[in-house]
Structures are given as structure tokens and as C-alpha cells.
């Protein structure tokens, strides 16, 4: 055990893990966070706190994570390189551990051009692989990048993201391998709507033996309508939705498309469970935590391990 977190315990026990994303509020009221988290309590093993995803400002990932940890939730805190240099990133890692956060997802972060603050200045002092290596050095060697010694190293379960659906496809397993070498203990992947492509990715992952060195959680989420699916694949960086998925929704009356999208998500979860080397799923339902809970239940993933 590299942390004291529930997610790591569940994964190391061999159970199929479930994580879910909590949409950050545009509010300073913590009750909004507690209400959303209550919908996920008991149906997932850890709650993800996004770090200004889409390059849009929301409550900070560290703030969200600290509030959730104070209420007893296991948290995966996202930490993006876009907005901080290495000094700030190392400070955030220490603060997260001190505040009861057990897992950190190290990401580079969406480019400024994706958001609504085009005048913002990106930092990108480190990228996700360098951040993973930094966190590993702090945890395993008890020192900063500068060489200074830490009094108490942070006990953290280190995560990374990967996108099996973005070309060049042959490079994606190799990039995952680089992140494992840098220190990644687990991965949360991009939305999976293209199962044949995902199976090819996982075959390459198994051929490299990476499924035995890190835990892999497939990214899943519901599509609410044809229009929503079209918007996602046009505006969310890295999201790939095949034409056949769009056609499936087009064959359903508009009033029934949300239910069809939920059913599709449940089917995808049940199919990725059968793929060797997949250790869990990460459910993303933006601003619809109750819908995420329904999907987890209908996919047969309850009860969670005690």
C-alpha cells in the first residue's frame, strides 16, 4: 500500500473498482459539494475532483478534495500542470496529503484555447509525465526536485490519464508505458465509445505487460441526446464518438434519447468488464451525479466492497 486510500485497497484486493467524477460548482457554498457527493456515496470507491477542466474556472481541485475528505469520502484529486510551476505543484502535493487526500491524478491540462479565458497565460513548466516523476520522488525518496529533504513524505496513490482513441494509435500504449515508468499506479482513461479500438489498445497493453504494473480504469459516460453527442465530439478535447453511436441515438425518438444514452453506457460498462486487464471504470456524467449513480447500479456494480 502506497497510501491509506480506499481506492488502492479495492484495486489491490482484485475487485472491479468504480470511480466517479464530481462536477465542481461555480459557487463558494460548500453545501453544493456535499449534496452532489451524497449522490455518489456508497456507489463508487472514490470521487474525482476536476482541476479546471476545459480550461474553465471552477472551485479548485484541492479545495473540493479537502472538503470531501473532511466528510470521509475517498478522493482522486486531479492536478494539472497548465496553471502552476514546479514549486506550486510540489506544494499542492504536500497539502493534498496533509488534508487527507490519498490519490492524485497527474495531468497536463487542457490548453487555454479550449476555455473561456483566452487572455490567461499557461504555465506548463512540467508535463504530466514529469509531474508523475516529481510526485514519485517526493513519495518514495522523501525529497523535493531541488534535492531538499522532506520531513514527512506524502503517501499518495499516483494516477494518470490516457486516451486510447486519439491517433497515432500505436503510440498510446507506449505513452502509457512511459507514465508507468514515471510512477503511475493507476490510469483513468478517456470516454470509451469505440469498443473495437479499446480492445486493440488493451491487447497492446497486455502484450507490454502493463496491466500487471498499473491498474486501468476505462472511462465511461452517458450521452443525453444526438445534439449532446455531436457537441461533445466537436468541443471536448480528446473525445471520439463513432458515427455508428450517433446513428443509434438518431434511431430513437428525441424524448427517449437520454434513456438510450444511459442504456448504451451500461452496455459499455458490462462489455469492458469482460476485457482482460481492465480493473475498473471511471464514470463521468457532467453535473448529473444522480445519473452516474443510476448507471453504476444498473450495470450491476453494487454493492461496493465493504
Taking only the tens place, the pLDDT of each residue in 221-266 is: 999 999 999 999 988 878 999 999 999 999 999 999 999 999 999 9
Taking only the tens place, the pLDDT of each residue in 6-50 is: 999 999 999 999 999 998 889 999 999 999 999 999 999 999 999
Mean pLDDT for 132-153 is 98
In the chain, what are the domain boundaries? 6-298
Residue 115, pLDDT above cutoff 90: no
Global pTM?
0.96
The pLDDT, as a whole number, for residue 21 is 97
SS (H, E, C) the chain: CCCCCHHHHHHHCCCCEEEEECCCCCCCCHHHHHHHHHHHCCCCCEEEECCCHHHCCCCCHHHHHHHHHHCCCCEEEEEECCCCCHHHHHHHHHHHHHCCCCEEEEECCCCHHHCCCCCCCCCCCCCHHHHHHHHHHHHHHCECCCCCECCCCCCCEEEEEECCCCCCCCHHHHHHHHHHHHCCCEEEEEECCCHHHHHHHHHHHHHCCHHHCCEEEEEECCCCCHHHHHHHHHHCCCCCCCHHHHHHHHCCCHHHHHHHHHHHHHHHHHHHCCCCCCCEEEECCCCCHHHHHHHHHHCCCCCCCC
CATH number of 6-298: 3.20.20.220
Amino acid at each position: 500500500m502506497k497510501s491509506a486510500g480506499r481506492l488502492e485497497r479495492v484495486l489491490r484486493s482484485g475487485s472491479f473498482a468504480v470511480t466517479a467524477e464530481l462536477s465542481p460548482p461555480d459557487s463558494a457554498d460548500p453545501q453544493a459539494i456535499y449534496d452532489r457527493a451524497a449522490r455518489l456515496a456508497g456507489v463508487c470507491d472514490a470521487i474525482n475532483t476536476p482541476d479546471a477542466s476545459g480550461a474553465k474556472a471552477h472551485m479548485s481541485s484541492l479545495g473540493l478534495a479537502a472538503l470531501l475528505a473532511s466528510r470521509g469520502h475517498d478522493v482522486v484529486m486531479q492536478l494539472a500542470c497548465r496553471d502552476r510551476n514546479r514549486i506550486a505543484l510540489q506544494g499542492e502535493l504536500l497539502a493534498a496529503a496533509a488534508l487527507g487526500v490519498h490519490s492524485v491524478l497527474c495531468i497536463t491540462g487542457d490548453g487555454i484555447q479550449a476555455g473561456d479565458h483566452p487572455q490567461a497565460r499557461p504555465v506548463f513548466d512540467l508535463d504530466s509525465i514529469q509531474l508523475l516523476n516529481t510526485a514519485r520522488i517526493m513519495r518514495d525518496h522523501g525529497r523535493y526536485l531541488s534535492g531538499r529533504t522532506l520531513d514527512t513524505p506524502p503517501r499518495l496513490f499516483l494516477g494518470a490519464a490516457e486516451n486510447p482513441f486519439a491517433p497515432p494509435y500505436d503510440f498510446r500504449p507506449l505513452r502509457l508505458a512511459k507514465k508507468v515508468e514515471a510512477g503511475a499506479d493507476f490510469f483513468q482513461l478517456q470516454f470509451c465509445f469505440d469498443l473495437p479500438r479499446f480492445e486493440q489498445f488493451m491487447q497492446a497493453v497486455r502484450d507490454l505487460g502493463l496491466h500487471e504494473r498499473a491498474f486501468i480504469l476505462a472511462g465511461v459516460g452517458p450521452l443525453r441526446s444526438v445534439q449532446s453527442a455531436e457537441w461533445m465530439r466537436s468541443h471536448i478535447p480528446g473525445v471520439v464518438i463513432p458515427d455508428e453511436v450517433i446513428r443509434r441515438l438518431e434511431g430513437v425518438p428525441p424524448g427517449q434519447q437520454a434513456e438510450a444514452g444511459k442504456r448504451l453506457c451500461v452496455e459499455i460498462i458490462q462489455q469492458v468488464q469482460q476485457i482482460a486487464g481492465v480493473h475498473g471504470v471511471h464514470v463521468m456524467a457532467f453535473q448529473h451525479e444522480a445519473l452516474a449513480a443510476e448507471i453504476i447500479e444498473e450495470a450491476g456494480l453494487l454493492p461496493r466492497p465493504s
